[in-house]
Amino acid sequence: MNLEYFIAKRLNGATSYKSSASTTIIKIAIIAIVIGMITMLIAIATGLGLQKKIRDKVSAFNGDILVSNFDGNNSQETVNPVSIQQDFYPNFNAVPEVTHIQVVATRAGIIRTATDFEGVLVKGLGGDYDWSRIDDYLIEGRFPVFTEEKLNTEMLISKYLANRLGFKLGDKVIIYFVDNNSERPKPLRLDIVGIYESAYQEFDKVYLMTDIRHIQRINKWKGDEVGAFEVFVDDFDDVQDINNEVYRNTGSFLRSMTVIERNRNIFEWVKLFDFNIALIISIMIIVAGINMIVALLVLILERTRMVGILKALGSSDYSVRKVFIYNAMYLIGMGLFWGNLIGLGLIYAQKYFGIIQLDPETYYVRVAPVYINFGHILLLNLSVFVLCLLMLLIPSIIITKISPVKSIRFE
């Protein structure tokens, strides 16, 4: 143990137990670091958690990439069909990053009850549909079963639509489809076998799911014609690059669009979280650094005589500065320790108990999600420690201006 560290330890001990102005200032500095760390950890965990949850939810119900007919419009309803006789279906071997591909089709319809009516989008699904991606959102009943042997009338409806129209599990629903070539709407009777709730309001308010063959029959399509292909990839962060590969490996009459391009408003809003997180971290580090600067200045002024004595005994300015820097490092470490302990405790409490609730109309989730990445936490701790320490080098220069003769006489 070198002399500077020993003196710093003694200085810290004296500061901890001595009733003086520096004691209060130091406690405030430590508390500022604790509060700052708690705020930064919560901002990162909730910001990234909300980003990831919304992204996964939107992708689960829409696919990461949608391959459809180039002649189609940008509406949610399928207009022009696509043949399933494609080189990339059912296995997209040309792009190894693609993990799954499934067929879908949508058709607008109207549900009419004795007291109300509601416009809906019927999403037709095939036997290749991956129900596991939305398994967490099934709240009642089961998923429909689509087999090649028999066309059934099973359907999945959202809790929002079920409550709005007064439906429950096992009820029969009649959906009317308007055909421009016919004066009478085409009815389709379906049975509710499952109810889901995603809190993704843009989907819950309009979508119900059933066998794609119903859409094919109503649209008078052939058996090998579908509305589009939903494509899922192994790494969403690379979805744009993968989409370029998908586009190059599909026919010239097909287009591919990422879920980000199709839901630009949602993803632009989600990207703002990065700016908010960076802003919160910057402000908290500055506040913690300023408090540590004040604490160090008070320590230096209170220990002016000690500085003079050390200089008179032959200590260099650099050695004396290290005494106070070591002491400041200890205080920063204390703040980081308690900040991490309390911050992670609150984050895990939210993760397992869902204490904070959100409005799904605004945030697309009911419970504030958290995402814990220990790599991010370690980087945050190192950044706070190093930046606060660098900020303390400036006030420590004052030590070089202290005269041994004047400081020993200083009262």
**pLDDT 10s digits, 68-88:** 987 655 567 777 899 999 999
Instruction: Give tens-digit pLDDT for 274-331.
Output: 898 999 999 998 988 888 888 877 777 776 677 667 666 666 767 777 777 888 888 8
- Stronger pLDDT, 271 or 344, i.e. the higher one: 344
Is it the case that residue 16 has pLDDT exceeding 50? no
Whole-angstrom Cα distance, residue 240 to residue 225? Answer: 27
User: Which uninterrupted H or E stretch holds 36?
Assistant: helix 21-62
Q: Give the model's pLDDT for residue 17.
A: 38
CA atoms lying within 13 Å on the CB side of residue 314: 1
* Average pLDDT estimate for 380-406: 77
Is 264 buried (19+), middle (13-18) or exposed (0-12) by CB count in 10 A?
exposed
Q: Please give the Cα distance from 230 to 7 (Å, whole number).
A: 67
d(C-alpha 324, C-alpha 403), whole Å: 17
Interval 334-343: pLDDT, tens = 999 999 999 9
Under DSSP, is residue 22 helix (H, G, I), strand (E, B) or coil?
helix
For 124-177, write each residue's pLDDT tens digit.
999 999 999 999 999 999 999 987 777 889 999 999 999 999 999 999 999 999
Q: Where are the domains of the chain?
A: 3-57+267-408, 71-252
Please say whether the dihedral angle defined by the alpha carbons of residues 266, 271, 272 and 273, taken in this order, is positive or negative.
positive
Overall pTM > 0.75: yes
Low-confidence winner among 14-28, 72-86, 223-237 (lowest mean pLDDT) = 14-28
- Over range 383-403, report the average pLDDT: 77
In this predicted structure, what is the pLDDT of residue 366?
86
Give the pLDDT confidence score for residue 74 in this predicted structure: 59
Within 10 A of 269 (CB to CB), how many other CB atoms are there? 14
Is the per-residue pLDDT at 50 higher than 80? Answer: yes
